[in-house]
Structure 1
Amino acid sequence: MASAHDRAVLQAIFNPTTPFGDIPGLNQEEELIDDDSGFDRELLKQVKELEMRGVSAAETGDLQTALQLFSQAIQILPQRASAYNNRAQALRLKGDTAGALGDLDQAIALSGSTGRTACQALVQRGLLHRLARQNDEARADFEKAAALGSEFARQQAVVLNPYAALCNKMLSEVINKMRNPETSDMQ
């Protein structure tokens, strides 16, 4: 008898474009967290407050205020990745793709390519690369984010990998022929 995880893996193979979030049991990883233990508690509290206010400002459409708040957070703790990631989103919304990419690169570098912020930054950078039709760069970022647990990134990596989708389709056809030899002879 196949386990739930086995069935989820087979579902992913036979339906490579299915959103992985719709496949129960495939990814049961722990939620990523960022390691903020190396920062002064008071400064960290101040920076998190600035970031929350920045996110709120961006959500109401006040991108200039959001950018100022994220920049203040960066000035206080320039080695913390989260504010760069948030500022990149505000820059992207403002239309400054080059600035957004610079901040995403910084967020990824500071995070050591691990944790929640790295995962989010890799997905955002992958999307920007995809919009610029830089599919190889986008696929690389999505694959890294998928390795960190992002279901969306995993789906995008499959979509951008035509060989994987073709191989999965061929494997599905072979197994279907093995299961139903009568119907495959009729075609």
Structure 2
Amino acid sequence: MSQLSSHDKAVLNCLFNPNLPLDQAYNEELSDNIKDQEVNTPDIFKSKELETEGIKLAEVSKFDDALNMLNEAVRASPKRASPYNNRAQVHQLMKNTGDAFNDLTMAIDLASKYSQKRTLCQAFCQRGLLYRKEEQIELAKEDFEKAASLGSLFAKNQLVELNPYAALCNQMLRQAFESLK
């Protein structure tokens, strides 16, 4: 398996985190700060390979095949949170919101239990976005706060956007700049 370039990583980051600002896609703030604690056993290695293949299939919109591959990744190592997190993204792309929520909750549970902090942070962000989309703002804030406490700049930005005072300030700034034109 070849090493991904920083551009490839940014493309994948944009695919699996569509609301992530572009500058953060290239400068993933968690890459050096938070890592999943995993020992590369044969089962985990197999799960990672299957997960990577599932992501590649999702990139070319082969969602059913991607889902099957991610299901295999889960079966290969059921205690790994990452395949659940990525499978949730495929569920979202397929408009299966309920299944996405279930997978994200499982990813959060497993990541919490097995020190998979990077995946934990990503799952909180992804579930926070789903809650926001479903207009469950308080639940979204809770997840973004947890992700922010793990170091996610994206989650911190989401919390600012969800703050009605910050939104009002942003609106006033936009109006002020428009009047200066």
Q: Does the alignment reach a TM-score above 0.5?
A: yes
Q: Which of 125, 146, 149 does residue 147 from structure 1 map onto?
A: 149
* Residue of structure 2 in register with 1:136 after alignment: 138
CA distance in structure 2 between the aligned counterparts of 1:75 and 1:123, rounded to whole angstroms: 24
* Residue of structure 2 in register with 1:15 after alignment: none
* Residue of structure 2 in register with 1:126 after alignment: 128
* Residue of structure 1 in register with 2:50 after alignment: 50
Q: In structure 1, give the amino acid aligned to 2:150.
A: L
Gap runs ≥5 in structure 2: 1-20, 170-181
Could you state the TM-score of these two structures normalised by the residue count of structure 1?
A: 0.69
1:66-145 alignment to 2 at 5 Å? 66-112=66-112, 115-145=117-147
Q: Does 1:62 align with 2:62?
A: yes
The higher-RCO structure (CA 8 Å, 6+ apart) is: 1
4+ residue runs over 2 A deviation: 27-31
Contact residue 30 and residue 118 of structure 2 kept, 8 A: no
Q: Deviations over 1:107-156 (max 9, x none)?
A: 00000085110111111100000011110000111111111111111011
TM-align CA RMSD = 2.4
CA distance in structure 2 between the aligned counterparts of 1:83 and 1:115, rounded to whole angstroms: 14
Q: Deviations over 1:70-95 (max 9, x none)?
A: 10111121111011001000000000
CA distance in structure 2 between the aligned counterparts of 1:29 and 1:119, rounded to whole angstroms: 11
Partner SS for 1:153: helix
Q: In structure 2, give the amino acid aligned to 1:63.
A: F
Alpha-carbon spacing, 1:79–1:129, altered in 2? closer, same or farther (3 Å): same
Could you state the TM-score of these two structures normalised by the residue count of structure 2?
A: 0.72
Alpha-carbon spacing, 1:46–1:29, altered in 2? closer, same or farther (3 Å): closer
Contact residue 51 and residue 83 of structure 2 kept, 8 A: yes
Partner SS for 1:149: coil
Q: Whose Rg is larger?
A: 1
Percentage identity across aligned positions?
Answer: 44
Alpha-carbon spacing, 1:155–1:46, altered in 2? closer, same or farther (3 Å): same
Contact residue 145 and residue 153 of structure 1 kept, 8 A: yes
Contact residue 139 and residue 161 of structure 1 kept, 8 A: no
Alpha-carbon spacing, 1:89–1:79, altered in 2? closer, same or farther (3 Å): same
Gap runs ≥5 in structure 1: 1-18, 170-187
1:28, distance to aligned residue in structure 2 (A): 9.6
Q: In structure 2, give the amino acid aligned to 1:55.
A: I
